[in-house]
Amino acid sequence: MIGKVVFPFDFSKFSEQVIPYISKLKNFGLKEVVVVNVLEYEEFTSRSSSKLEIEEYRKRNFERLKYVKENLEKEGFKVTLRVEFGIPSKVIVTTSEEEKANLIIIASTGAGFTPTLIGSTVQNVIRLSKIPVLVIPSV
């Protein structure tokens, strides 16, 4: 039985394609979805961003995530939004541990799309995760 999933969302069309799969997991007992957006560590340190600037990005991304929350709540899920700062694969795995999730559901590629079958973040999540990772092919 899948009670809770972590869903990394990076605002890419590939992340959007995962949402219908989450809805189908309701048949397997899914009740709660933790949507996590990661502000990449390298993006901010390369620009020497201030804490205030980082906090502004965090607030903006929370606002941008609200439509995902609303769509999943319409499906009957309890939804938690998290906007974190760090290395995406590590943040995703840490979030799944903190939230005591049963599954991570992730698109095979994301916003940093490269012409590979599976992105490096996904590879690292699979390698680091102690729970199952369901990888949805990006189309």
**pLDDT tens for residues 56-115?**
888 999 999 999 999 999 999 999 999 998 999 999 999 999 999 999 999 998 655 454
The pLDDT confidence band at residue 49, using thresholds 50, 70 and 90, is: low
Which amino acid does the sequence have at 122? Answer: V
Domains parsed from the chain with CATH numbers: 4-136 (3.40.50.620)
Distance CA 16, CA 1 (A): 24
Distance CA 41, CA 39 (A): 6
The C-alpha angle 88, 91, 96, rounded to 5 degrees, equals 125
Three-class secondary structure of residue 84 per DSSP = strand
The pLDDT confidence band at residue 117, using thresholds 50, 70 and 90, is: low
- Cβ–Cβ < 8 Å for 88, 38: yes
Q: What is the pLDDT of residue 17?
A: 94
Q: In Å, how far from its chain's centre is CA 17?
A: 12
Q: What is the pLDDT of residue 5?
A: 98
What percentage of the chain carries pLDDT values higher than 70?
A: 88
Distance CA 99, CA 120 (A): 23
Q: Does the pLDDT value for residue 45 go beyond 60?
A: no
Alpha helices in 7-128 (DSSP H): 13-16, 19-24, 41-45, 51-74, 88-98, 120-128
Round the average pLDDT of the chain to a whole number and report it: 89
The pLDDT confidence band at residue 42, using thresholds 50, 70 and 90, is: low
Q: What is the pLDDT of residue 43?
A: 60
The pLDDT confidence band at residue 8, using thresholds 50, 70 and 90, is: very high
List 83's β-bridge partners, or say none: 37
Q: What is the pLDDT of residue 58?
A: 87
Distance CA 64, CA 68 (A): 8
Please state the pTM of the whole predicted model. 0.89
Distance CA 118, CA 21 (A): 18
